[in-house]
Amino acid sequence: MIHSRLGKRIVALNLDDFTDYDKYLRANLETESDHFISALTTNVTNFYREKHHFEQLQSEVLPRLVERARSGGRVRLWSAGCSSGPEPYSLSGSVILLCPEAPKLNVRILATDIDPFVLRRAEAAVYSDEEAKIPPGPWANQVFEKSGSAKAEFRVRADVRSLVSFRQLNINGPWPMSGLFDVIMCRNMAIYFDSQTQQTLWRRLAEQLVPGGMLFIGHSERVSGPATAMLEAAGVTAYRKRSAS
């Protein structure tokens, strides 16, 4: 897989082989590193992917967070590994469905990814007709408006965009965030890491949640290691942080 992905970059640069690319990368690290990262990153995403998570958010999690926000409280959500934006915009659309005034309240969604190119796409918030498909549900008309261009494109609505901030972040590096989160989505990322790295990631994510906060992970992932003492199962690939005893 790595050879296939880097092979496309080698062709684009008109280089002969991986040895040449290694030399090119070392000589042009500042300008080429983003391309290297992007080539090795998996970016598969859809709006409201794993719909059961958003149904659980809509029925069980967001109502109490909306109530807190309406009372002047702080609400924070994090989409870790946000790719080109469908996940954080789906989160935002779910919030605004329950709370249209959310942009005026203390509600924010952090969206992070290591790939700078997909982050630029996410910030542009314009998607093709195929990319903008949304499964049936209460949120069907909650995210998009026509882009205004001649193409069959859709732009994420301004109110939905306003809740989301995008940042480049290596999930296995330092995290600059100081505050805790009420909801974290880190889905289909840990499967690419070895067991020890996964356990470290689960622990760090659990530590970044408020007591009672929710962690949603990918359908083929399971929390393991020290985080199991901090989290309890709360749905299909959903976990709730235990309150401090």
pLDDT tens digits for range 144-180? 887 666 566 889 999 999 999 999 999 999 999 989 9
Contact between residue 179 and residue 209 where contact means Cβ atoms under 8 Å apart:
no
Q: Which residues contact 122 (CB under 8 A, 6 or more apart)?
A: 82, 83, 84, 85, 88, 111, 113, 166
Q: Which of 9, 76, 108, 113 is catalytic?
A: 113
Residue 164 CA to its chain's centroid (Å): 11
Determine the pLDDT at residue 63: 98
CATH 3.40.50.150 domain position(s) in the chain: 51-241
Q: What average pLDDT does the segment 83-105 reach?
A: 97
Q: How many angstroms separate the CA atoms of 172 and 193, rounded?
A: 10
Instruction: Provide the pLDDT confidence category of residue 243 given band limits of 50, 70 and 90.
Output: confident
Q: What average pLDDT does the segment 20-27 reach?
A: 75
Determine the pLDDT at residue 148: 65
Q: How many angstroms separate the CA atoms of 242 and 83, rounded?
A: 29
Choose between 124 and 31: higher pLDDT.
124
Which stretches within the chain are classed as H helix? Answer: 2-12, 18-27, 29-40, 51-56, 62-70, 86-98, 116-124, 158-162, 195-207
Whether 4 has a pLDDT exceeding 70, the answer reads: no
Q: What average pLDDT does the segment 86-92 reach?
A: 97
The yes-or-no answer on residue 113 being catalytic is yes
Contact between residue 109 and residue 92 where contact means Cβ atoms under 8 Å apart:
yes
SS3 67: helix
Choose between 204 and 192: higher pLDDT.
204
Q: What average pLDDT does the segment 43-61 reach?
A: 90
CA nearest to 179, candidates 148, 217, 207: 207
Whether 35 has a pLDDT exceeding 80, the answer reads: no
The CATH class given to the 51-241 domain equals alpha beta
Determine the pLDDT at residue 174: 95
Whole-model pTM? 0.83
Residue 50 CA to its chain's centroid (Å): 13
The annotation places the binding site for S-adenosyl-L-methionine at: 43, 45, 49, 87, 113, 187-188
Instruction: Provide the pLDDT confidence category of residue 26 given band limits of 50, 70 and 90.
Output: confident
Choose between 3 and 196: higher pLDDT.
196
Ranges assigned E (strand) in 97-141: 107-113, 126-128
First to last CA, the chain: 46
Contact between residue 82 and residue 111 where contact means Cβ atoms under 8 Å apart:
yes
Looking at the chain, the whole-number percentage of residues with pLDDT higher than 90 is 64
Q: Which residues share a beta bridge with 238?
A: 216
Instruction: Provide the pLDDT confidence category of residue 36 given band limits of 50, 70 and 90.
Output: low
Determine the pLDDT at residue 3: 63
Instruction: Provide the pLDDT confidence category of residue 20 given band limits of 50, 70 and 90.
Output: confident
Radius of gyration of the chain from its Cα atoms, rounded to whole angstroms: 19
